[in-house]
Amino acid sequence: MNSLRRLFLPVAAVLVYATAPSVLHAQKQILPLTRALQQETLRVAADRPLLSGFHGILSPRHWIGLNPATAVNPRLLERKVLAQFPRRVSPRHAFPGKQQIDAVIFDLDGTLLDSLSAWEHSGSNFLRTQGIVPPPGLDEELAKMSLLDGARLLKKRFHLPQPPEEILRLTLEPIRRHYYEDIQPKPGVLSLLQRLHAQGIKLCVATASDRELTEAALKRTGLLPYFDFILTCDEAGAGKRNPAVYQLARQKLGTPLERTLVVEDALYALQTARSAGFATAAISEPHAAKDQPALKETADYYFLSFLQCQLEK
């Protein structure tokens, strides 16, 4: 650490991940230098080529510096700094392990299960059974809500006679069979869960889907035993534009916020979790191809497939 301080003192430079907890951590752990230095204005400073070997840290926007100087050997600087931040900076293909996290909150559809195709146009299809032409963008709007909130929206906006609970039941009916019969885990999921479980990392599911369908699919595919519990957005009282489902899940897990990882495929949900202070990992999903650049920019970890994941030691 003394050599690291000597490295930074002449140039007053350090690169850290751009979240408030990390900045605080850096000030306390790496830069207990001078009050003036700690109060320097933070600004963006990064060299993309230096970061090409790291997942999740793919944009200069994610890095901040204190008067970065060019006199320092950049690769030496990179190695020294990254050594101090195993929590936020992951080598390519590395999924955080027991030294970095105590628990993982997994999304279900599009993350654990290859199931998004079953939900395509579900709201619009229901409206058509009621003789109503659905407006453009409706399904995208419903996807960001809890199931019951979506049913309430349909009832109010389209003046439907059924109560929200019946609307939800009718909407789920064509989807139900897929969860009981044919939806499969995404590639690499089972192996990843087995390795996380073997390390003693707590696991749970936080989903906007229906509890019955969630349990049915996880039990049929052999994934259910690896999870401490399932929590739905309806049970938390809000969709994933609100962090309630993640916060309640963490409370049930009993783990510190900074050591609880949220894994999502949806950009809006990942943004919600990150804004609430969680570490985040994103898994690529073909149904959200247009969001992949933003997911890479937003997530602490980003993976094209769980097949590529190796747990950090």
Round to whole Å and give the CA distance between 117 and 121: 9
29-51 pLDDT tens trace? 333 333 333 333 222 223 223 33
Q: Which two tokens stand for residue 231?
A: 């929590």
Amino acid at 67: N
Number of H helices, E strands in the chain: 15, 13
- What are the residues facing 207 on neighbouring strands? 232
**Burial class of residue 24 in the structure, from the number of CB atoms within 10 Å of its CB (0-12 exposed, 13-18 middle, 19+ buried):** exposed
At residue 48, the pLDDT reads 28
Cβ 134 vs Cβ 124: under 8 Å: yes
Residue 248: CA count within 13 A, CB half-sphere: 19
Helix H segments across 104-242?
116-119, 122-129, 138-143, 147-158, 164-181, 189-198, 211-220, 233-236
At residue 34, the pLDDT reads 32
CA dihedral sign of residues 75, 79, 81, 87: positive
What is the helix (H) or strand (E) element at residue 279, kind and residue range?
Answer: strand 279-283
Round to whole Å and give the CA distance between 77 and 14: 8
At residue 313, the pLDDT reads 66
What's the whole-number mean pLDDT along residues 159-185? 89
Q: Which two tokens stand for residue 217?
A: 């699919």
142-153 pLDDT tens trace? 877 777 888 898
Share of the chain above pLDDT 70, in %: 70
- Was domain 94-115+185-311 assigned CATH 3.30.60.50? no
Confirm whether pTM is higher than 0.75. no
At residue 39, the pLDDT reads 32
At residue 93, the pLDDT reads 63
